[in-house]
């Protein structure tokens, strides 16, 4: 469905952002000024869903890059690391190992290992993983369902505020 001027206007008002004159109206906002370098992603859970989210890094390497992974299955971990050229020092068996490495990096040089973490683990683990990475200030994309209980969803929402 093509965007009409009315639709573009509604988007602009809802986002409270101006439409760029350089994007030919194809997007409601020109985000290119934010994209001076790719967004660095850490993938926690490299199964079907984790690979699906990570695939964007192969399609748009100038926009995002997978820089760290955590996956308990050795073959899946190896394939993912090779596919995305992840440095061996940033390939972890557990999310806890990735979290510890991130904490060490924050303490040593003052930055996280990645800009964002994609949580694609078993549904029952979403809350514990999200709370851990939220505590370090990561941007989080958590696959659906967000959590297995309403209480867990509320805790996750509070942690990212």
Q: In this predicted structure, what is the pLDDT of residue 137?
A: 92
The pLDDT value recorded for residue 98 is 97
Per-residue pLDDT, 134 = 95
Contact (CB, 8 A) for 87 and 11: no
Tokens of 56: 């964007």
pTM, two decimals, is: 0.77
Q: Which CATH fold topology does 35-159 show? A: Rossmann fold (3.40.50)
Residue segments in the chain with a per-residue pLDDT below the cut of 50: 1-4, 6-25, 27, 29
Where along the chain do its domains lie? 1-33, 35-159
CB atoms inside a 10 Å sphere around CB 155: 16
Is residue 136 within 8 A of residue 106, CB to CB? The reply is yes
User: 83: closest CA among 72, 69, 101?
Assistant: 69
Per-residue pLDDT at 45: 96
Helices (H), the chain: 5-15, 48-59, 74-83, 95-109, 126-135, 150-159
61: how many CB neighbours lie within 10 A of its CB?
Answer: 12
């Amino acid at each position: 469905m093509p965007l009409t001027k009315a639709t573009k206007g509604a988007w602009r008002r809802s986002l409270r952002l101006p439409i760029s004159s350089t994007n030919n109206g194809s997007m409601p906002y020109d985000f290119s000024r934010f994209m001076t370098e790719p967004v660095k992603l850490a993938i926690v859970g490299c199964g079907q869903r984790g690979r699906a989210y990570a695939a964007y890094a192969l399609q748009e390497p100038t926009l995002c890059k997978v820089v760290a992974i955590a996956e308990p299955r050795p073959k899946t971990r190896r394939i993912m690391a090779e596919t995305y050229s992840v440095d061996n020092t940033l390939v972890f068996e557990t999310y806890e190992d990735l979290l510890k490495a991130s904490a060490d990096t924050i303490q040593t040089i003052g930055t996280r290992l990645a800009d964002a973490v994609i949580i694609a683990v078993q549904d029952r683990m979403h809350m514990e993983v999200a709370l851990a990475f939220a505590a370090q200030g990561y941007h989080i994309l958590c696959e659906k369902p967000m959590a297995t209980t309403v209480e867990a969803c509320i805790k996750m929402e509070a942690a990212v505020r």
